[in-house]
Amino acid sequence: MFTKLIKSITVAAGEGGPDLDMNFSLRLAVEKAKAGNVPKDNIERAIKRGSGEGKEGVTYEHTLYEGFGPGGIALLIECLTDNKNRSVSDVKLILSKKGGSSAGQGSVQWQFEHKGMVRFSAEKKNAISEWDDAQLTLMDAGVVEALLTLGVTPDDSSLEWVAKELVACPKEKAAQLEALLDAFDENDDVKAVYTNAL
């Protein structure tokens, strides 16, 4: 888990610079790392490495692979990798071993939208007195800072691929789909897997 969190910080710093106030993606990555108990020194080294200040010359890239899981479930596999050849072969191997199949570019992605997601507990939601007004404020602002002005600290926030329409995975394929998702979770290059499964 530390490896994935550190990679996210390195990439965000490389794409938007080392300033947390100016780089929203970096701020999100750092917040997640802190929540995951990544030591402060590791976070600072990852920021320096990503912004070019560090001595290590590793460059991570975002890659997005498309596929289908058991039962025809659509999959978007987001990777952070320093070796695209390795990650694409790993993704294809996991798909073939766990009952899935790779798909051509664009054959799955159209079923998803890239959105900013903010999550917080029901208790935090209940602490907001005027929920309807607060929802409008959040939609207009589109940023986590709006939540903070309402006195709520989000439990999680990130950019994610959200399925436009959810479908039910056949019951006999559910365990196989779960095994496929677990295999992706164990791979260091895989940042996240998004599905259209209910």
Same domain, 99 and 166: yes
Residue 79 falls inside a structural domain: yes
CA diameter of the chain: 51
Which tokens go with 76? 């978007």
Residue 56 falls inside a structural domain: no
What is the pTM for the complete model shown?
0.75
103: CATH: 3.30.70.980
Q: Determine the pLDDT at residue 122.
A: 83
Q: Which domain holds residue 166?
A: 61-112+162-195
In 3D, which of 18, 19, 32 has the Cα closest to residue 192? 32
Same domain, 137 and 175: no
- The whole-angstrom separation of Cα 118 and Cα 144 is 7
What letter does residue 122 receive in the DSSP assignment? H
Same domain, 170 and 129: no
Q: What are phi and psi of 193, to 5 degrees?
A: -125, 130
Same domain, 103 and 166: yes
Q: What is the four-CA torsion angle of 7, 9, 12, 17, rounded to 10 degrees?
A: -130
Per-10-residue mean pLDDT of the chain, 198 residues long, equals 84 84 83 88 88 70 92 94 92 95 94 85 80 76 68 74 94 94 93 93
Same domain, 108 and 68: yes
Q: Determine the pLDDT at residue 67.
A: 96
Same domain, 166 and 108: yes
Same domain, 97 and 171: yes
Q: Determine the pLDDT at residue 100.
A: 94
Residue 21 falls inside a structural domain: yes
Residue 7 falls inside a structural domain: yes
Same domain, 43 and 137: no
Contact 33, 9 (CB under 8 A): yes
Same domain, 106 and 129: no
Q: What is the total count of domains within the chain?
A: 3
What letter does residue 115 receive in the DSSP assignment? E
Q: Determine the pLDDT at residue 13.
A: 85
Same domain, 105 and 83: yes
12: CATH: 1.10.10.200
Same domain, 102 and 174: yes
Contact 63, 86 (CB under 8 A): no
Same domain, 130 and 106: no
